[in-house]
Amino acid sequence: MFSARISDLIDDRPDDGIFRVSRAIFDDPDIFDLEMRHIFERGWVFLGIADQARGPHDFFTTDIGRVPILVSRDGAGKLNAFVNSCPHRGSRVAQALSGNARLHVCPYHSWTFDSAGRNKNVKLKRAGCYAASFDAQNHDLPALPAFGDYRGFLFGSLDADVPPLETHLGEAAKLLDLVADQSDEGIELVPGAVTFTFHGNWKLQLENCSDAYHFTSTHPSYIRILEQRQTSNTKAAVKSVWESSDYWREDAKGVAGGSFSFPYGHVLNWGIFGVTEALPLYERAVALAERHGVAKRDWMFNMRNLSIFPNLQIAENASSQLRVIQPLAPDKTEMRTWCIAPKGESREARRQRIRQYEDFFNPSGMATPDDTVTYENCQRGFASRVDPWLQGYARGTTAAREGGNRFGELIDLHPAFSVLADAQLGDETLFRSYYREWARRMAGVLAP
């Protein structure tokens, strides 16, 4: 019987300036099982974006923890989400990652369901000698107990008692607005989804997206290529978005960026970029300022790595990537990734976005392979219990402040904690938001 306490796994003593995480949280199979039941299968989980099921009868499939999910738009255009499991014998009904289907036929015994999840046919029902009690049962696909849409970002839960989605997102919803408002038409996923796995715990990906400290150590080859491009005269070179900028320099006074931490485990790592033509959004710079104000437009151009706990990440740096984290085992994680873009951008801007995306992201890019190898190196190291406590949550302790700062106030953003940093700080205090939410959700099954 698993008997660890939360205090055995997370050492959180703010008054002493100490925050540590045990290696066991990354590789213990009992902990992983509890995470699936009480974090992924009891709370809000990101499912996808509405544009993945754009037209009537469009659908896509995903998972909430270990449970298969079907998101489908019915014939009237309404989005619905169901457990993708036939009520007959439990088989997954929809087998494809996405598509268009008026009817979904279970491959096991051919029970049939329409795009609204309603059972339309029980094969050979008249010959089935069913009792009257069978006819009294509901044979439809079970609807998710909680399903919500925020600005085209879809979330679901297997627990009807989760807080309202607006409460779960809180102030972090304003960071989703920075993505959704880049076009009046909304956002879309650029065709070409990528799915890959790595042999490491899911929380390694959660941390890494917010980790500014690792960049110069883990990606030196990418940095060298950027330096070469900056001295090249060729127009074929992919433009660098890591070049220095005068943006906000007068007000920043040495600040290169920072972090924001929010309730429910959401975090943002951000850096100052500037309104630069190195970004494909540059063609919209004037229009965005007119529509949303200069401050919000400028924030759209900042480097922003956003994590919505537990499984959504939007990285807007070298390009714009949407990531969905799917834990498979304590030491195995599946990633689904897409290039995300505002609808209606020009062909040239889209070309630039895709080239920069290919440059940096995905297993074929110059950054993702570095990261995944590092995850697997960490996973091997977690086996040690000689000193069970990891020390990777200390940087930024004396820089962290309760509440926000003048940069967040520009967009009326009010986080729980914030850090302002120079280019070398590499704040790690934002990871604490992940693990405090982790501890909150696990409190019912683990002793303090």
Residue 39 has what DSSP assignment? I
Window from 41-50, 79-88, 219-228, 319-328 with minimum mean pLDDT = 219-228
Give per-residue burial for 138-174: e unless 16+ CB within 10 Å, then b: ebebeebebbbebebbbbbbbeeebeebeebbbbbbb
| Residue pLDDT, tens place only, 184-217 | 999 999 999 999 999 999 999 999 999 999 998 9
- Would you call 49 helix, strand, or coil by DSSP? strand
| Residue pLDDT, tens place only, 371-397 | 999 999 999 999 999 999 999 999 999
Residue 314 has pLDDT above 80, yes or no: yes
- Quick one: pLDDT at residue 241? 46
Residue spans in the chain of domains classed CATH 2.102.10.10 = 45-150
- Mean pLDDT, residues 358-377: 92
Architecture of domain 45-150: 3-layer Sandwich (2.102)
- Quick one: pLDDT at residue 231? 77
pLDDT band at 444 (very low <50, low <70, confident <90, very high): confident
Residue spans in the chain of domains classed CATH 3.90.380.10 = 170-442
- Mean pLDDT, residues 101-130: 97
The pair of three-digit structure tokens given for residue 405, joined into one six-digit string: 């700062």
* Percentage of the residues of the chain whose pLDDT score is greater than 90: 84
- Mean pLDDT, residues 344-362: 94
- Quick one: pLDDT at residue 244? 38
- Quick one: pLDDT at residue 242? 42
The CATH number of 170-442 is which of 3.40.50.620, 2.30.110.10, 3.90.380.10, 3.10.450.50?
3.90.380.10
| Residue pLDDT, tens place only, 217-273 | 998 888 888 778 777 755 444 444 444 344 455 566 778 899 999 999 999 999 988
| Residue pLDDT, tens place only, 5-16 | 999 999 999 999
- Quick one: pLDDT at residue 236? 43
Contact 106, 93 (CB under 8 A): yes
